Chain A
Amino acid sequence: MDALDPTATARARLARHSLSAARRRRDGLARGTILGGTILALIPLALIVYYLLAKGLGSWSWSFFTTDPTGNTFFKSSSIGGVKSAIVGTIEIVTLASVISIPIGIGVALWLIEYGRGSWFAHTVRFFIDVLTGVPSIIFGLFVYIALIVGTGSTYAGYKGSIALALLMLPVVTRSAEVILLLVPGSLREAALALGAPRWKVIWSVVLPTALPGLATGILLAIARAAGETAPLLFTAGATFKTNTNLSQFMNSLPVQIYNDVTSPTNAVVNRAWGAALTLVAMILVLNIIARLIARRSRLA
Chain B
Amino acid sequence: MQASTLRAGGRSTLERPPLARLPDRALKYGLTALAAAILALIVYFFFRLVGEARPAFAKFGVLGFTFGQDWNVSAEQFGALPMLLGTLLTSGLALLIGVPVAVATALYATELCPARLRSPVTVLIELLAAVPSVVYGLWGIFYLAPKLQSPEQWIADRLSFIPFVGGGLVTIPNIFNAGLILAIMILPIVSAISREVMSTVPADHKEAALGLGATRWEMIRLAVLPYCRGGIVGGAMLGLGRAIGETIAVTILIGGATQMPTHLFAQGNSLAAVIANEFGEAEGLHRSALFAAGLVLFVLTLFVNAIARVIVLRAERVHAPQGAAQDPRGPGPPALAGTPGL
A residues in contact (CB < 8 Å) with B: 18-19, 23-24, 26-27, 30-31, 33-38, 40-42, 44-45, 47-48, 51-52, 104, 107-108, 110-118, 121-122, 124-126, 128-139, 142-143, 146-147, 150, 170, 175, 178-179, 182, 184-187, 189-190, 193, 198-200, 203, 224, 227-231, 234-235, 255, 258-259, 262, 270, 273-274, 277, 280-281, 284-285, 288
A-B contact pairs, 7 of them (CB 8 A): A41-B187, A116-B32, A125-B39, A133-B305, A200-B23, A231-B248, A255-B133
Main secondary structure, interface of A, reads: helix
Q: Is B332 a contact of A118 with CB atoms below 8 Å?
A: yes
Give the CA-CA distance A5 to B125 in the complex, in Å. Answer: 35
| B324 at the A interface (CB under 8 A) | no
Supply 15 further A-B pairs (C-beta < 8 A) apart from A198-B20, A262-B141: A24-B215, A26-B217, A30-B217, A31-B112, A38-B121, A45-B127, A111-B31, A116-B32, A125-B35, A142-B275, A228-B134, A229-B132, A234-B279, A255-B132, A274-B138
- Residue of B at shortest CB range from A146? B48
Interface string of B295-333 (1 = CB under 8 A from A): 001100110110001000000000000000100110111
| B52 at the A interface (CB under 8 A) | yes
Say which residue of A117, A122, A273 sits within 8 Å of B138 (CB atoms): A273
Q: How far is the CB of A162 from chain B (nearest CB, A)?
A: 16
| Stretch from B63-71, B99-107, B150-158, B258-266 forming part of the interface with A | B99-107
Contact count band on B: 35 or more
| Stretch from B1-9, B72-80, B200-208, B334-342 forming part of the interface with A | B334-342
User: Which residues of B1-46 are within 8 A (CB) of A?
Assistant: 16, 20-21, 23-24, 27-28, 30-32, 34-36, 38-39, 42, 44-45
Q: Is B331 a contact of A51 with CB atoms below 8 Å?
A: no
- Residue of A at shortest CB range from B246? A136
- Residue of B at shortest CB range from A15? B215
Q: Is B275 a contact of A48 with CB atoms below 8 Å?
A: no
| B231 at the A interface (CB under 8 A) | no
Give the CA-CA distance A51 to B124 in the complex, in Å. Answer: 17
Beyond A139-B245, A182-B332, A235-B280, whether A47 also contacts B301 by CB under 8 A is no
Give the CA-CA distance A255 to B334 in the complex, in Å. Answer: 45
Give the CA-CA distance A69 to B31 in the complex, in Å. Answer: 44
Q: Is A34 a contact of B34 with CB atoms below 8 Å?
A: no
Q: Is B187 a contact of A108 with CB atoms below 8 Å?
A: no
Q: How far is the CB of A55 from chain B (nearest CB, A)?
A: 8
Q: Is B104 a contact of A259 with CB atoms below 8 Å?
A: no
Query: Which residues of the other chain, B, contact A137 by a CB distance below 8 angstroms?
Result: 245, 247
Q: How far is the CB of A174 from chain B (nearest CB, A)?
A: 9
Say which residue of A47, A126, A186 sits within 8 Å of B333 (CB atoms): A186
Q: Is B31 a contact of A23 with CB atoms below 8 Å?
A: no
Query: Which residues of the other chain, A, contact B124 by a CB distance below 8 angstroms?
Result: 42, 45
Q: Is B35 a contact of A136 with CB atoms below 8 Å?
A: no
Beyond A142-B294, A262-B252, whether A178 also contacts B328 by CB under 8 A is yes
| B165 at the A interface (CB under 8 A) | no
Q: Is B34 a contact of A111 with CB atoms below 8 Å?
A: yes
Q: Is A108 a contact of B35 with CB atoms below 8 Å?
A: yes
Q: Is A200 a contact of B132 with CB atoms below 8 Å?
A: no
- Residue of A at shortest CB range from B109? A38
Give the CA-CA distance A180 to B218 in the complex, in Å. Answer: 38
| B268 at the A interface (CB under 8 A) | no
Beyond A45-B128, A143-B45, A234-B276, whether A138 also contacts B216 by CB under 8 A is no
